[in-house]
Chains A and B, each alone.
Chain A
Amino acid sequence: MTRILAVAANTFRETVRERVLYNLVFFAILMTLAGLLVRQLSIRQDEKIIKDIGLASMELFGTLIAVFIGVGLVSKEIERRSLFPLLAKPLGRGEFFLGKFLGLAFTLLVNTGVMTAGLYLTLGATGAPLDAGLLRAIYPILLSLLLVVAVAMFFSTVTSSALAAVCTVGVVVGGRYADVIRNMREVLPSAPPWVVSALYNAVPNFRNFDFKDRVVYGDPVPGDVLLWVTLYAVLYVGLVLLGGLLVFRQRDFQ
């Protein structure tokens, strides 16, 4: 466990020192603040617009961070061979892989925390009440980001960083439009049903993590729904990480 935490701490330090992270957080906060301007275009919708833009920024920029840093975490180490000295030490490949995941997961937690604070500050600046219900949309966003990281890490163990980024974005976009995959036969009648079914089940359904509209419009998000979403995320993250780990453990580092 000490070694996993050492890798995680180093990964966190790496991501914090990456300029791309600061840029993305900066733009996310900028977009939230932009909500302050946009609200002037709408009548009595100030709070909803700020929440809407804030949550969407959190999801979009969080996903970008998860994809690009997640992909680079392992593949960059392999391509630059910086993991060679480490794997000759008493560090198991599984420990290295899990440490990398935990490090980026912690980065995303901090990052989401910063953006959440930014959103609440913006809402506070407009005199809107501090709505704790927002956390019921933010928590599933964080879960979805962890899933994106796991997918990015999986692809980065099997292919180059560029291709891994493309594949991860493909899975995320496919997962956002999972319903389109399910109804694919309506537009492509020749598609074999088993292919459609396999594709639909293989791609994680990112819609399951989307409670933005419900929270913004004040619809309740019951605790058992969040529990179900948590289990869904844990299962998917576990499976994807396990797949990545199996590939990583068997890999030859030439």
Chain B
Amino acid sequence: MPDPALALEIQGLTKSYPAGHLFWRRRRPAVRDLSFGVHPGEVFGYLGPNGSGKTTTLKVLVGLLRPDQGSISILGQPHESRGWRYRVGFLPEHPYLYDYLTAGEYLDYVGRLFGLPSAVRRERARELLERVGLSRSADLPLRRFSKGMTQRAAIAQALINDPEMVFLDEPMSGLDPIGRRLVRSLILDLKARGRTVFFSTHILPDAETLCDRVAVLGRGRLLQVGRLDEILRVDVTHMEVLVTGVEAATLESVSGLRARQAMGERLRLEVVEASLGEVVRAVERGGGHVLTVQPVRESLEDYFFRELGEEPGPARGLED
């Protein structure tokens, strides 16, 4: 029986794809034995590197893929029923919309699939295009849209039915900083209106900013579900010290210094907490002085690399 207190409930979900050639067909699991729930009104982040099974899960949830095993209920209704489809919105990853339609025509079309009356469709399309910053492009054919504009139009189509729950697959993908901020504010606005948002991302700062809870996926398996402060280590991992007026070479022999990074005339140091005093003294002996000292706790990115056993790259995401 579906739990009516959950907006989304997944029990033992497994999905595999056929792999191999004609004479040696086998199934390659994409996600294995996933079980978790999403509460109504929360922003739930679904995190994991590429190939971890995020998109597969989302496609199973919205009915594009059929699960091998497991049960799903959405908004208290079994997955097999059609009722929940009237109450959810979906943004696929890298959306492609009909290039022969204008954005206004496309929204009108998807509105018809929900059986919305013509006047409501017109009003919603106008409102949504304004909300995603496309009101001036409503009459342009979608083929003339940039990648970011297409992403915004696709977000608008996901909201045409004023859904109670929204599934967004990499909603920030292809967006410039202004677009990303717009999507962040849209997600927060949905939350403020009591809607449930389930979104996948590999851009971890977005998850850290927006999510009430997250599920972390690695190689098709669920690694963790919970609030970020439950998942991340709350202890200080190290101190970040910004100094100036000192050569990096003069600090070479100082113990407890984990990393150095030159930033123009300044030097950013990662220091073990217990060695902070020694490092500060070494900087002053070398003729420099300390600008800032900041305690650093584990970030979601650090957690990822700890759990998945991979070294972080220079970017603040798992990949570009």
Contacts and interface: CB of A to CB of B under 8 A. Distances in A.
B210 interface: no
Contacts of B17: 252, 254
| Most chain B CB atoms below 10 A, which of A17, A91, A250, A252 | A252
B62 to A, nearest CB: 4
Given A82-B97, A82-B98, A89 B65 contact: no
Contacts of B187: none
Nearest to B30: A254
B63 interface: yes
B223 to A, nearest CB: 24
Contacts of B113: 3, 6-7, 86, 89-91
Contacts of B36: none
Interface string B87-119: 010111011111011000100011011110000
A253 B154 contact: no
Interface in A33-90: 80-82, 84-90
Interface residues of B, number: 33
A17 B86 contact: no
A81 B96 contact: yes
A253 B66 CA distance: 9
Contacts of B105: 13
A18 interface: yes
B95 A88 contact: no
Given A80-B96, A82-B96, A253-B64, A88 B112 contact: no
B85 A89 contact: yes
Nearest to B55: A254
Contact of A2 (B90, B98, B115): B115
B105 to A, nearest CB: 8
Nearest to B157: A85
Contact of B100 (A14, A81, A90): A14
A88 B85 contact: yes
A193 interface: no
Nearest to B141: A17
A10 interface: yes
Contacts of B88: 88
A5 to B, nearest CB: 8
A79 to B, nearest CB: 9
| Most chain A CB atoms below 10 A, which of B17, B92, B95 | B92
A152 to B, nearest CB: 19
A17 B90 contact: no
Contact of B64 (A18, A82, A87): A87
A113 interface: no
B91 A85 contact: yes
A90 B114 contact: yes
A88 B110 contact: no
Given A2-B115, A17-B100, A92-B82, A81 B65 contact: no
A113 to B, nearest CB: 22
Contacts of B91: 85
A85 B90 CA distance: 6
B107 to A, nearest CB: 11
A7 B157 CA distance: 16
A88 B90 contact: yes
A90 B82 contact: yes
A88 B62 contact: yes
Nearest to A253: B64
A85 B95 contact: yes
B147 interface: no
A105 B137 CA distance: 32
Nearest to A84: B92
Complex A-B, nearest 10 residue pairs according to Cβ-Cβ distance, in ascending order: A88-B90, A88-B62, A6-B112, A90-B85, A84-B92, A17-B100, A253-B64, A80-B96, A89-B113, A252-B65
30 contacts: A2-B112, A3-B115, A6-B109, A6-B113, A13-B101, A13-B105, A18-B100, A80-B96, A81-B92, A82-B97, A84-B90, A84-B95, A85-B95, A85-B97, A85-B158, A87-B62, A87-B63, A87-B64, A89-B85, A89-B110, A90-B82, A90-B113, A250-B66, A252-B17, A252-B64, A252-B65, A252-B66, A253-B59, A254-B17, A254-B59
Interface of A: 2-3, 6-7, 10, 13-14, 17-18, 80-82, 84-92, 250, 252-254
